[in-house]
Amino acid sequence: MWTAESWLTSQSLYSSGHYDEALARLDQLLQSAPSHRQAIELAALCLHEIHHAPPNPPDHKSDAQAVAPHRPVDRPEALNRLGCWFYGRRQMPQAEHTFEVALSFEPDWPPALSNLGLVLREQQREPEAEAALRRALAIAPDYVPARNNLAVLLWQMKRLDEAEAEYRQILAVQPDYALAHNNLGLVLLDLGRPQDAEVAFRHALAIDATAPEMHNNLGNALNRQGRSNEAIAAYRQALTLRPDYTTAQGNLAMLLLKLGAFEEGWRLYEARNDETANAADRPWPPVPYPKWRGEPLEGKSLLVWPEQGYGDLLQFCRYLPLLKARGVTRLSFACPPALKRLFESLEGVDAIYPLDGKTSIAGHDYWCLMLSLPMHLGTTLDTIPAHTPYLRVPADLTRAWRARLPADGFKIGLVWAGDPRAYDRGLNAIDRRRSLPARTFLPLLRLAQTTAVKFVSLQKGAASQPQIEDLPPNLRPFDLMADVRDFADTAAIIECLDLVISVDTSVAHLAGALNKPVWILSRHDGCWRWLRERNDSPWYPGARLFRQTTPGNWSGVIDRVAQALVNLRQP
């Protein structure tokens, strides 16, 4: 808390040469008053003295007369250093005000403007950040730190073409800047240009081959091109440089799983919740009992904990009955509330706990993450538990929805987009590759005019209704999704259909779990669970895959689906 006494103490400590103590006291004061200019300026002087302290500083316990005189100081430079000190400590308000004080001394100083833009970006104040960075570049067009900060900002704002242009301008000035080559590659991957991204990553590695992140990124670019062996080599090189690099372990795991190399793939896939990771990033449950690591389960109780998306839970909940067969006396599953009603049909599960913030979970002997079950149960391609249906819908719920659907015709459910997950850049990029606008389905929807098919929307989300309204009125799918409360309702609608056609999202897994025929539209770099170069799935006997042959080209996929549907309906 700011008090006059604390301020005077800080001044006294500085005057007597106790710079570390003075800076610590000023740091405390600025917690409650981050814009206090006098405290900021004095803190900058303290940090300046500490930074320039001789190797063997004088004994500060001697009287004030023995204290060395204060060193000459460039105030803007000292303030800029203090702002960076606050930034490194994640104290963004203090950093922001410190850079502003620096700019009050030197308004057109690019380093302080660039750093201010960086801090504003960290506080998600993008327009202000962009203004500060562009002001720096108007003064010094070749000041690379400001242009790099601007490029990252544009990338985060999904202005990818502009970000690419900024990185290319950086490299025109500083062609040996490995990080700029690397970041350009990441932008190009987000733009759906993996071949160009590969070129950028190889330029980065030619400059610095010791960075495991760049080998991992090269692996991603190669993987997106379907060059599996080269991608595996890149991931393994990243792990040679840093054996505990969990991101590379996870990427290698998913590629191995896609290739059917399940034994090593499942083991490496455990890197997604590595114990060395930040606890806030791990999906571990807040319970006091231990994680199950494969110990015998006879006579024990086990809580299975959810992770990742709805589709993952719908796919892997099939393992719960297998756990019960291993002798678990009490098997429980925690799940999102939207899945509770549906998961109550799972065989062998003694308790379903909705994670609604209200439900208390009883004690158990062990807990386990859902997607660790295939590893613990030794799943191979030949032993996938593919018996369906493993989820069921109450008959009365199905009857209620059947009464609201068209009575005649071959009824087909449609899903054209997944969850955009804007909170995660990587997941959002995947969703952009797997989703398509409703109008892309027009060649299918037109079949309702010439064949006895009826299309039914299974698309949920805020964007679905405007997209349906954008279709010609006579081609719009029948839509009841506004009345759907949870996955049990969606499952009941699916039970009334003859076929589901879906992009790779949770509804595809739901249809498969219900043993409903499902045609899955897969992006070019499809998810690992659909394996490589197959048009069927060992996970769902009733599934059929329609894959993109070139990245981003959905028209060819839709044409093949339309022809397959015509063939299906022909006598």
Residue among 530, 532, 522 at smallest CA distance from 558: 522
Query: What is the pLDDT at residue 533?
Result: 85
Helix, strand, coil distribution of the chain in percent, nearest 5: 55, 10, 35
Query: What is the pLDDT at residue 419?
Result: 64
Contact status, residue 239 vs residue 210, Cβ threshold 8 Å: no
Q: How many whole angstroms from its chain centre is CA 70?
A: 49
User: In sequence order, what are the residues at sequence separation of 6 or more whose Cβ sits closer than 8 angstroms to the Cβ of residue 564?
Assistant: 519, 544, 546
Query: What is the pLDDT at residue 114?
Result: 97
How far is it, in rounded angstroms, from Cα 338 to Cα 318?
18
3-state SS class at 410:
strand
How far is it, in rounded angstroms, from Cα 220 to Cα 197?
9
How far is it, in rounded angstroms, from Cα 117 to Cα 429?
25
Strand-pair partners of 500: 413, 518
Let me know if 533 is exposed, middle or buried by CB neighbors in 10 A (0-12, 13-18, 19+): exposed
Residue among 92, 7, 94, 68 at smallest CA distance from 42: 7
Residue whose entry in the numeric block shows the structure tokens 């004061």? 29
Specify the DSSP class assigned to residue 546. Answer: E
Residue whose entry in the numeric block shows the structure tokens 């379907």? 226
Strand-pair partners of 543: 518
Contact status, residue 382 vs residue 260, Cβ threshold 8 Å: no
Residue among 431, 444, 451, 567 at smallest CA distance from 506: 431
User: In sequence order, what are the residues at sequence separation of 6 or more whose Cβ sits closer than 8 angstroms to the Cβ of residue 247?
Assistant: 213, 216, 271
3-state SS class at 272:
helix
Query: What is the pLDDT at residue 425?
Result: 60
Spell out the domains of the chain, with CATH numbers in brackets: 195-282 (1.25.40.10), 287-383 (3.40.50), 395-569 (3.40.50.2000)
Q: Which pLDDT tens digits describe the chain residue by residue (571 residues)?
A: 567 788 889 999 999 999 999 999 999 999 989 999 999 999 999 999 998 776 555 444 444 434 555 667 899 999 999 999 999 999 999 999 999 999 999 999 999 999 999 999 999 999 999 999 999 999 999 999 999 999 999 999 999 999 999 999 999 999 999 999 999 999 999 998 999 999 999 999 999 999 999 999 999 999 999 899 999 999 999 999 999 999 999 999 999 999 999 999 999 999 988 766 554 566 789 999 999 999 999 999 999 999 999 999 999 999 999 999 999 999 999 999 999 999 999 999 999 999 998 999 999 999 999 999 999 999 999 999 999 999 999 999 999 999 999 999 999 999 998 665 554 566 556 666 767 888 999 999 999 888 889 999 999 887 788 899 999 999 999 999 999 999 999 999 999 999 999 998 999 999 999 999 999 999 888 899 999 889 999 999 999 999 998 888 899 999 999 999 999 987 6
Paired tokens of 52:
């320039």
Contact status, residue 514 vs residue 389, Cβ threshold 8 Å: yes
